[in-house]
């Protein structure tokens, strides 16, 4: 038997669950424990197949609309946020609902409302159709928010009053891509009102910085996360931009050893909605084929936590 080839695994830190994801999952778990199954969840609580399947096994029922929920069972709104019309409908039906919207997404909603109340025309930098974008645009009347997805969109945007424009952003975007769009807007509208604090969340920024640190040293980058997870997709893009061959994988079962053949150094990270157990599974699969040395590359410390809603906090 020939000796296994040596392989250095650079493990990005921070990686995996952020405070908003952790809070959202806990809300569903505690709702099931308190109220019994089924507990309905409007949209996937977070964008990770493994998390959704585990919660489904506990008694969560995932739906896309309140029309699919009975009046007499609890419903949880996902971490991505919902349009204002959704809690309004739930209140009208006297439903018990729990809002698992990430507090950092709620902050963007508050900013958008503040700009609207000040009479500004609002630009939202984000990806069309993503639930967070749908939720943010749904905080205000139709037509109050203009979606900008690219630098070209920013250059083509024609506001009613160029001196009275504001922007907010989706929280899970590429930091670098967003900076380019913001620069294009500022070049055209020097007085554009910006967020008090960066809208792209700390966890997205930290995970992208960690990927840049390891991708610069690795031939291959493995990003653990689901294909509908915006922040996970962005991590793969950041890795490719830094020069690594990047693969987005749900778990170790889809990892192809040929992707790593000939590589001496592989980076591993996980999107903000991917459980740590999936990271260990990927390392174990690599260790079965190679003589693996794991090096953790720590680029930031995260201490953020978010309070649970009072209904399930006890």
Which amino acids are annotated catalytic? Answer: 132
Cα distances (angstroms) measured from residue 1 to each of 4, 256, 258: 9, 21, 19
> Running DSSP on this structure, what letter comes out for residue 180?
H
Q: Cα 306 from chain centroid?
A: 16
Cα distances (angstroms) measured from residue 241 to each of 58, 169, 273: 40, 22, 22
User: Which phi and psi angles does 222 have, rounded to 5°?
Assistant: -105, 120
Distance separating alpha carbons of residues 112 and 144, to the nearest angstrom: 10
Buried-exposed string 15-39: b where 16+ CB fall within 10 A, e elsewhere: bbbbbbbbbbbebbbbbbeebeebb
Where do the DSSP E strands lie in 171-273? 220-224, 245-249, 265-270
Q: Which two tokens stand for residue 156?
A: 């083509």
Q: Which two tokens stand for residue 285?
A: 């699969």
CA angle 217, 231, 205 (to 5 degrees): 65
Q: Which two tokens stand for residue 256?
A: 């192809």
Where do the DSSP E strands lie in 100-164? 121-125, 145-148
Strand order in the sheet with 6-13: 245-249, 220-224, 265-270, 6-13, 291-298
Which candidate, 134, 201, 188, places its Cα nearest to that of 158?
Answer: 188
């Amino acid at each position: 038997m020939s000796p296994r080839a040596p392989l250095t695994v650079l493990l990005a830190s921070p990686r995996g669950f952020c405070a908003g994801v952790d809070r959202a999952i806990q809300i569903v778990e505690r709702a099931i424990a308190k109220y019994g199954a089924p507990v309905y969840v409007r949209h996937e609580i977070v964008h990770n197949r493994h998390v959704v399947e585990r919660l489904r096994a506990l008694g969560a029922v995932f739906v896309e609309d309140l029309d699919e929920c009975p009046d007499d069972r609890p419903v949880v709104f996902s971490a991505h946020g919902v349009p204002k019309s959704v809690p309004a409908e739930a209140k009208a039906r006297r439903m018990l609902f729990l809002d698992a919207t990430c507090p950092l997404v709620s902050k963007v909603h508050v900013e958008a409302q503040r700009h609207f109340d000040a009479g500004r025309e609002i630009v939202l930098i984000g990806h069309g159709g993503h639930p967070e974008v749908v939720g943010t645009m749904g905080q205000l009347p139709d037509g109050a928010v203009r979606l900008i997805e690219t630098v070209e969109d920013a250059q083509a945007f024609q506001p009613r009053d160029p001196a009275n424009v504001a922007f907010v952003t989706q929280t899970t975007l590429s930091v670098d891509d967003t900076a380019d769009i913001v620069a294009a807007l500022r070049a055209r509208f020097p007085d554009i009102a910006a967020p008090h604090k960066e809208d792209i969340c700390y966890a997205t920024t930290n995970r992208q910085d960690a990927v840049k640190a390891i991708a610069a040293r690795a031939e291959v980058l493995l990003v653990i996360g689901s294909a509908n997870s915006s922040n996970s997709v962005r991590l793969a893009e950041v890795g490719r931009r830094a020069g690594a061959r990047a693969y987005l994988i749900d778990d170790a079962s889809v990892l192809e050893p040929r992707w790593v053949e000939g590589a001496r150094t592989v980076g591993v990270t996980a999107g903000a909605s991917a459980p740590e157990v999936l990271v260990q599974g990927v390392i174990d699969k690599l260790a079965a084929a190679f003589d693996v040395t794991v090096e953790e590359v720590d680029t930031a410390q995260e201490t953020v936590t978010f309070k649970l809603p009072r209904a399930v906090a006890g």
